[in-house]
Structure 1
Amino acid sequence: MEKKAAVIIPALNPDEKLVNTVKDVRKIWNGPVVIVDDGSDMQTRGFFQQAEQMNCTVLRHCVNLGKGRALKTAFNYCINTWPNILGCVTADADGQHTAQDIFRCVCALEENPKSLVLGCRDFEREEIPTRSKWGNKVTCMVMRLLCGVNVSDTQTGLRAVPLEFMKKLMNVTGERYEFETNMLLETQAQKVPLREIAIETIYIEENRRSHFRPLIDSVRIYALFLKFIFASLSSSVVDIALFSALVWTLKPFVIEGYIFAATVLARIASALFNYIVNSKAVFQKEMGRKTMLKYFALCIVQMCMSGLLVSAFYRLLPYSEVTVKICVDVLLFFISFQVQKRWIFS
């Protein structure tokens, strides 16, 4: 086939909105449309059959495996069936995405064949459900502050994905909604540019048919952040406990520099603990000489900054050494996350 995109629609227990979306798409788009039946109930099989009658390919999971797995199934099919495909446009089956916006994403991919294009909604509109509005705001803030990914709609299912990025995404973790967040994070690792286009904001029945589960899926989405915070907090406990013990031990005997000495000794022990936890549990990278050297270079810089800043602020502020250290290390925590994600464990 000529180099064009495929439209991918993952679906779980769809209704007539899936059929209406396909009808509208077929009025303006004659390219491939791939629908993934992600373990839907038998009574919804008729909607998929209607889609097949409109020249759509339907792939089936015998059980529900999640949106992330459904997208990977479709990616694999498209790459194997059309090796020279330009990429794909993913859309939802619940009627939130118009055929015009889907086609606009196809055109945007043709204009930006190496970029991940996001169809972004306007979350300032009054009719946006509260859970969607605040869920998106919180996720956008977390993505921007902790990961440096600056997008206005992290939860959009309307995305244009270029071919080479599709191949990379086949090995990205995430079987359910967390896959879409991991996709955004992966743009940094693969240096894939991000583009946004404004789309129509549609919420039918206040999005009651959405299969997104705010509590469960949010935990999955924030898993990377939560693991990093847990690793850092546990390392901080080791660090501060040792620092406190060393300050208590050294202060009577060392007139000058006891804070800096306590910082150095405590940081060596906590840094080794933190490196092992981050490489194995958080970023899931093999421990090697290069990453270890980078990590300990960061630790040396961070240790020096901590010691110097704590010493300086302790003289200026009416607080104990431990209190000042906690405040300084919270600031250094955010800086450390960015450095580790982008440079050490990227």
Structure 2
Amino acid sequence: MKRKVQQWLAGVGMMTCAALVHAEDPMKVGFVYVGPVGDLGWSYEHDQGRQEMEKHFDGKVKTTYVENVPEGADAERVITQLAKDGNKIIFTTSFGFMNPTYKVARKFPNVIFEHATGYKRAKNMGTYVLRTYEGRYVSGVAAGMLTKSNTIGYIGSFPIPEVIRDIDAVYMGAKSVNPNIKLKIVWANTWYDPGKEADAANALMDQGVDVLIQHTDSPAPLIEAEKRGGVRAIGQASDMSKFAPNAHVFSVRDHWAPYYTKVVQSVMDGTYKPQDFWGGFHEDMLQLASVNDNLPEDVKTAIHSTYEKIKTGDFKPFTGPITDNTGKVVVPAGHSLTDEELAKVNWYVEGIDDKLPQ
């Protein structure tokens, strides 16, 4: 009898230990990327944020990621598999992942989903986006001061609100320092394709553009600008200075770690609530990287002063009066666009001589 009691107690002890081990298992967190983690742009910086967040939690979190995921049915399959694999939180990091994320979130109510740059939310699904237009406005100021041809160029990815409002911000920034500025736009219709991006850069430079701004992820436009000589370019999403030592103006770097850390902590604490989060200069989620020493002093001063005004909230780029390029007042005098309004920008500001793709 004594032996049976001892065996029972030993079994209880083993179960208790197993329960403790299970309770201390790290939280699983999944990430879905539209491009390769080595693209040195959008997906690269999301992955840097993932690594920084995982390091912060020191063994309490275990992350996994899937890269090069096409937007559409493939994304839904990948997101579903991550949910089945036991990930407590899944971050999907491209606009085209919105509908697949929303569908999967409805099937897995006990999993938290976070989608970057979208607008659909659910009880277990939030959205997050960067105020990239803040960096674009600074880019426009620099471009407007640096251009000798008064013609700057923008390589667009897809005509979604994020890209459209960034184009507007570039033009408004440039116009604020150069009344003669012209902006030319080429749509690459890709987030990451070095060949298409290089072609777009060369097409713009062939039209007299001498400052390039891109909404695509490879360093190809900077490389092409460096080859040409006399052309400047601004890096996208991460520090791209090494690819164009002479042509590089600065890069606008995305810093996702603060948000990833905040969301994971809230889930751990049981305080998570889905929201529409916007982060920018003020939250240190948007940074200026490697401002080139070869820039004129007045340009460097303008870059830093514009950055500070936006960071402190003293200046908001989308403050009226703003008229679109059809003559319609889209932002009344004295009004600054709300986040909800920013998310719906589908117009070019007055002075952009182009039409939005249909």
Q: As a proportion of its length, which structure holds more strand?
A: 2
TM class by smaller structure: under 0.3
Q: As a proportion of its length, which structure holds more helix?
A: 1
TM-score by length of 1: 0.24
TM-score by length of 2: 0.23
Q: Which has the larger radius of gyration?
A: 1
